[in-house]
Structure 1
Amino acid sequence: MNKSILRVAPMVLSTALCTTAFAYTVQGTVTSKADGKAIADASVSLLQKGKSAKTDQDGKFTIHEDEQDTTSTGIHNQQAVGFVNLSQGVLHYSQSSGPVQVKVFDLMGNLVSSKTLYGTGSVDLRQGINAKGTYFAKVHVGSATQNIKFTTDGNASAYSTSKTKSALLKAGDTDKLQVIADGYDTLNVTLNNLDTTLALSLEKSIPPEPTYKFGYALKNTPTPSKGCGTNTTLKTDKKVENGEHHVVNVNGTNREYFITLPTNYDNTKQYKLLIALHCYGSSAEDFVHHTPDYDHPTPYYGQQVLDKNGDYIFASLQAVGGLWNKGQEDHDFFGKALTTIEDNYCIDTSRVFITGFSYGAMFSYSLAQDYQDRVRAAATYAVADYNIWLPQEKGMDKNLPIAWMNVHGVNDDRCTFDKAKNSALPRMLKKNGKASDGDSQFTDASSEILQENQGSTGHLCYDFKNVDERFPIKFCTWPGGHQWTAHDTGNMSVGWNWESTWVPEEVHKFFEQF
């Protein structure tokens, strides 16, 4: 039988204990929690022992430490105040200055027995162990710990100590296993037993969301408005089909608008907001509910019917006299209505969208030059940048980009296609080029040439390549006139009806990329 001897002298042990360890083998497999596949080249480390290994192609690793012979560590100092030794399964001890504490653990780290011994004597470690197996005895003498590994079949006559001598550890020594792999969260596991086989799985890391001086990352985390988590104090003066009518005072003038909430509105869910702006000859209420026709196929330019999951709140604003010709007052109306909605309902303020046709497109385009910090994207149908108040003409150009989509008939004789192509489009492209610093210094992309539909049927939507990906520009052309419900059979040709328009689907996809 091997003997394990411990003599305790505090000053001598304080040096020896820092570098010794008992035998152990930590092994296991590292896999991805997402798909169960093995993770190769992961770093697996015992933090206190300073031992590490790399996983192989099968995700397997092994960390092994041979036991050291404590008889060579210089602990047999003749001035030691006590000692322990193990012989034939019996622990012999002598300690004059304090107790000898003995704890026996099974391989799972469960405490099997605990004894506190005084003076000089002996104790059979097998006492109280009825189950066959391998056990560890942790013997504390003063400030040192002796770990002894032994096996038994539950019979005192069948006993063996570890074939190698156990070594000294600091009192209270524990260890943590740490696993690090590229693309995964770091895993830390506390080990009560270093002779163990582990099955470890790692979570894929979610990279931190990039932030910018201006604008948001694509697919950014929603930004909740003031109205999230609160009940609205906004009172409607009348309900209409599919919505509520509201009035807000702007510079002494009462301005009208409508709100449509999703079914089962939840004030803890951040909703996207789409604001529709009507054309000349129509009204805000027409885009809330209207007998279907080619200008009003379904509410809110066909967008509400596409909101299958109830992710949007919709609103529609009314122009004074049906014309968006009040300049700054119209802009102030938009801003105040937007603030009121955000203060009273739970809005994702990073996903506010505007859309409009003809005069509504002009006003949307004007807002897109002014509200880039509050509106994520605009979709216009038959845009024009004349006969409308534009901030840059008043020295108020913020020179900031905004995501923009326009649908235009090449035969439009009211908001002419050439004017949209050669004036409105370059103005947008000039602000939306890829950021030279990756953040807020946007370049001029106006040199890129629009690819347009050349036939008598069909349509072509061109996504500009030289713009910043956070501020895309899409321009769709079709062989029609002044009409927003574009279709692929030519301008009002036989067999056409408003249900055949491809525009709502294209606009919905454009908004949903954010």
Structure 2
Amino acid sequence: MHRNLVAPLLGISSFGAAHTLRQRSAAGCGQSPTATLGELSKFNTTAGREYGVWLPDDYDQTAATPLIVSYHGADGTIDSQAALDKLTHSEFNTDHIVVYLQGKADDPDEPNHTTWEGAPGNDEDDVGFTSDVLDAMTAGYCIDTSRIYATGKSQGGGFVGRLACDADMSKRIAAFAPVSGAYYIGSIDEKSETKPETVQVPCEAGRADVPIMAFHGGDDTTIAYYGAFRSGSCLPAIPNWIQQWAARDDLDETPANTSISGSDNGVVMSFGDGLVTLVYDGDDIGHDWPSTTENSDNGGTGLAAFNASTMIMAFFREHTLS
């Protein structure tokens, strides 16, 4: 499918009737929803893990509906991520179900230090947790199983990258959009010969056409754009990480670049007509969820020239599982 590079920046989508023809309804169609329409309702899996469900105001239990899974950053919560990505706001989303997963705190001495699988010191099976939640959603709601998507911030973004590299989840989730992602590669430190700009990312994606849209700021001092070593792990340079995705999807590793108007050197780097995309937020954007208005990341002073949520929604609308 041809992709217009300018469209996501303007909030324009090429989503149309062709996607409707490929809808795949879940077993939960026809069941009365247990979540409240227009509100964030909390539930637990059978294993006791918490997740939140937001249904659009016009959710129809007989119509197959797309679903987004969103992951908070380290020390975050369901509510903090919902406030950050604003995918429950009509400005960005009126027709996708959004599910927020709660990370777990493994250290009883730090009950608020929530992390995700793949982060240093995390031994949880969050891939399994995600699978359990998707099973519950498709059993209880009318989900279009060809249009399930994943996004997240920081460690949550890194975990989204991990899902994209999972043999099973990469075939269950249609597209992935990590923001300021922490793509930890374990058991590597600065004493090794491994370098962030060349380190290989372990990946066993189950298909060769995985859509990726990643965001990262040049002034990110938490997860550096050009990589770093942290807590016995290597954080790959973001250009290295995204070029490996282009290679996996058998795309030209030299992107087509489009400047972001109004930003400090911000650019959209598009590989393979946008199947893989890196949005460089700009030299002045830090460890943020890019937004033109104040949020918990930017404090009202580090505003971006665009809204990541607008671009993410446009990107998701362009991709379905075949």
TM-score by length of 2: 0.70
Is 1:266 the counterpart of 2:23? The answer is no
Alpha carbons of 1:376 and 1:240: their partners in 2 closer, same or farther (altered >3 Å)?
closer
Residues 452, 476 of structure 1: 8 Å contact kept: no
Looking at secondary structure, tell me which structure has more helix per residue: 2
- The answer (yes or no) to whether the contact 2:38–2:54 under 8 Å persists in 1 is no
Partner of residue 312, structure 1: 96
Other-structure match for 1:448: 254
Match of 1:366 among 162, 168, 179: 162
State the Cα distance separating 1:396 from its structure 2 match. Answer: 4.9
Query: Where does 1:279-358 land on structure 2 (aligned, <5 Å)?
Result: 279-288=73-82, 290=83, 296=84, 301-306=85-90, 310-321=94-105, 322-325=114-117, 326=122, 329-358=125-154
Identity of aligned pairs, percent? 22
Change (3 A) 1:395 1:422: closer
The structure-2 alpha-carbon separation of the partners of 1:305 and 1:494, relative to structure 1 and needing over 3 Å to count, comes to closer
> What residue is the counterpart of 2:214 in the other structure?
406
Deviation by residue 1:374-433 (Cα, 9 ceiling, x = unmatched): 1011111112322579xx988855354311111111222222212343332122112212
The separation in 2 between residues aligned to 1:499 and 1:409, in whole angstroms, is 10
Counterpart of 2:132, as a letter, is: K
- The 3-state SS of whatever aligns with 2:126 is helix
Q: CA deviation at 1:280?
A: 0.9
Check if 1:512 corresponds to 2:322: no
Partner Cα separation in structure 2 for residue 399 and residue 393 of structure 1: 16
Cα displacement (A) at 1:362: 0.5
Residues 38 and 57 in structure 2, CA contact (< 8 A), matched pair in contact too:
no
Cα distance, 1:481 vs. partner? 1.8
Q: CA deviation at 1:220?
A: 4.6
Task: Answer 1 or 2: which has greater strand percent.
Answer: 1
CA shift in 2, pair 1:493/1:452, >3 Å: farther
Partner of 1:244: 41
Cα deviation code 1:64-103 (max 9, x no counterpart):
xxxxxxxxxxxxxxxxxxxxxxxxxxxxxxxxxxxxxxxx
Displacement of 1:316? 0.2
Amino acid at match of 2:253: S
3-state DSSP of counterpart to 1:373: helix
Cα separation, partners in 2 of 1:348 and 1:484, compared to 1, 3 Å: same
- Does the 8 Å contact 1:401/1:428 carry over to 2? no
Tell me: CA distance 1:343–1:453, structure 2 relative to 1, closer, same or farther (3 Å): same
Unaligned segments of structure 2, at least 5 residues: 1-16, 106-113, 188-199, 227-235
CA distance in 1, matches of 2:62, 2:299: 49
**Structure 1 pair 257/309, CA: closer, same or farther in 2 (3 Å)?**
closer
Does the aligned pair in 2 maintain the 1:225–1:349 contact within 8 Å? yes
Distance 1:383 1:452, change over 3 A: farther
- Match of 2:155, as an amino acid? Y
Other structure's SS at 1:226 match = coil
Assess, with a 3 A threshold, how the Cα gap between structure 1 residues 327 and 395 changes in structure 2: closer, same or farther: farther
| Distance change >3 Å, CA 226–CA 498, structure 1 → 2 | farther
Indicate the residue corresponding to 1:485 in structure 2.
290
Give the whole-Å Cα distance in 1 for the aligned partners of 2:116 and 2:256: 29
Alignment of 1:158-307 (within 5 A): 220-232=21-33, 242-250=39-47, 254-288=48-82, 290=83, 296=84, 301-306=85-90
Amino acid at match of 1:404: I
Residues 1:401 and 1:493: Cα distance change in structure 2 (over 3 Å): closer
**Whose Rg is larger?**
1
Counterpart contact for 1:227–1:344, Cα < 8 Å: yes
Cα deviation for residue 227 of structure 1 reads: 0.6
Q: Which whole-Å CA distance do the structure 1 matches of 2:265 and 2:201 have between them?
A: 36
Q: Residues of 1 paired with 2:100 and 2:127: CA distance?
A: 14
